[in-house]
Amino acid sequence: MIVEIVYRDRPHSVFEVQPPGRAEECVATETRLSLEPDGLWIEADRYEMGTAGDGAAPVAVRRRWWRLLAASAEELSSAEAVIRDGRTAWWRLGDGFVDDRLLEAADRKWSEHGGGSAIGRVLKVDALLERANPSAPLEERCAAMGVTPETRDAAALAAEALGEEDYEDLA
């Protein structure tokens, strides 16, 4: 896995994570990338072969392997994007980050045709979620698409400043 952190005001960081080479120690590794309040974490678990019994295949048991703080919350304050394996995982909007995977999933779920600008996608999906469940609070809609209410508001302000269409009136 290759993780890049793209900053506004400094060189971006790249992390390359490789599984170990000894198969008897590790059949597979699971690597996670998580954006948490204290920063961006890369975590990995290893799978150790168990013993086989009664002709059954051995079961690999997952063990916590390591956890790496790739960027502190302070360092992330100037990050523009976090890219995993060449695909944007999170991108900056206002003072927060948009979880692109959740936004894309919500876009696929709620709209017939995805695409458009990233800011437009945030507003379009929010409007569709609101139409689907008018009683859902803003916080719930935002959580469903991987943004905070503040980043959703930043998208609305950016669209207004650019003169983009009114996504609240989507049919």
Give, in order, the Cα–Cα distances in Å from 66 to each of 9, 28, 37, 45, 63.
Answer: 29, 14, 19, 7, 9
| Residue found by looking up tokens 């894309």 in the block | 104
Question: pLDDT class for 10, splitting at 50, 70, 90?
Answer: low
| pLDDT value for 19 | 61
Query: Among the ranges 10-19, 78-87, 105-114, which has the highest mean pLDDT value?
Result: 78-87
Asked if the model's pLDDT at residue 112 lies above 80, the reply is: no
How much is the average pLDDT of 127-138? 94
Asked if the model's pLDDT at residue 83 lies above 50, the reply is: yes
CB 156 within 8 A of CB 120: no
Q: Count CB-CB contacts under 10 A for residue 62.
A: 12
How much is the average pLDDT of 23-35? 66
Give, in order, the Cα–Cα distances in Å from 27 to each of 18, 31, 32, 43, 65.
Answer: 13, 13, 17, 17, 13
CA distance 55 to 59: 12
The pLDDT > 90 percentage for the chain reads 39
Helices 118-132 and 100-110, axial angle in degrees (round to 10): 50
